[in-house]
Amino acid sequence: MSLSFLPTVMVDALTDVTPELLRKLGVKLLMLDFDNTIVPYTTNDPTPEMEAWLRTMAAGEIPICVVSNSKRDRVKIFCAKYGIDCITHAKKPFHRGIRECLRRYGLNPSDCALAGDQIYTDTLGARSSGCKAILVKAIDNHNFWLKARHVLELPFIFIAENRRITK
């Protein structure tokens, strides 16, 4: 089974990703998925905890950049509001957006991590491009298709848990 489907680290929520954890992983740039990682599909308003995390990270030493497959304006509007760099139409698990981000910051993939909620887009895109993958639990799989997709991820989550890939 390809390692590309296995996250480097799994956490319950994006807000559990700390600068200390990133330093431990040797991460110099954190790419972020948007939908169901920062906010659910159903709202543009982050929780107070997520808003505080975003503001802390945006002011920190390790740059953050949203790398989203979304084509919707809401991602750009959100990122502008919180002063976060942003790449849309990323086409994860393909490398278009990830490569654009690496070029923009002039970093090697091994120095970067991508945090996201989906194994078949975020984890696979990160690992197959040479980046580290941080798998977060989806904020809200609010419909049947999101729930069904998560079921297809469970074998990889099970393997990762048994390898004790935790923070």
Nearest distance from C-beta of residue 33 to Mg ion, angstroms = 4
Q: Is 74 exposed, middle or buried (0-12, 13-18, 19+ CB in 10 A)?
A: middle
| Preceding peptide of 93 cis, ω within 30° | yes
- Smaller CB separation from Mg ion, 92 or 132: 92
- Smaller CB separation from Mg ion, 145 or 164: 145
- Smaller CB separation from Mg ion, 42 or 110: 42
- Smaller CB separation from Mg ion, 35 or 153: 35
Buried b (16+ CB within 10 A) or exposed e, 122-133: bbbbbbbbebbb
Nearest distance from C-beta of residue 23 to Mg ion, angstroms = 25
Whole-angstrom distance, CA of residue 115 vs CA of residue 127: 11
Residues 6+ apart with CB under 8 A from 109: 98, 102, 129, 130, 131
- Smaller CB separation from Mg ion, 61 or 135: 135
- The residue ranges of DSSP E strands in 58-139, in sequence order, are 64-67, 85-87, 112-116, 132-136
Nearest distance from C-beta of residue 117 to Mg ion, angstroms = 4
Nearest distance from C-beta of residue 118 to Mg ion, angstroms = 5
Nearest distance from C-beta of residue 56 to Mg ion, angstroms = 21
Question: What H or E segment, with its residue span, contains residue 161?
Answer: helix 144-162
Chain positions contacting Mg ion, by CB under 5 A: 33, 35-37, 117
Token pair for residue 113?
């991590």
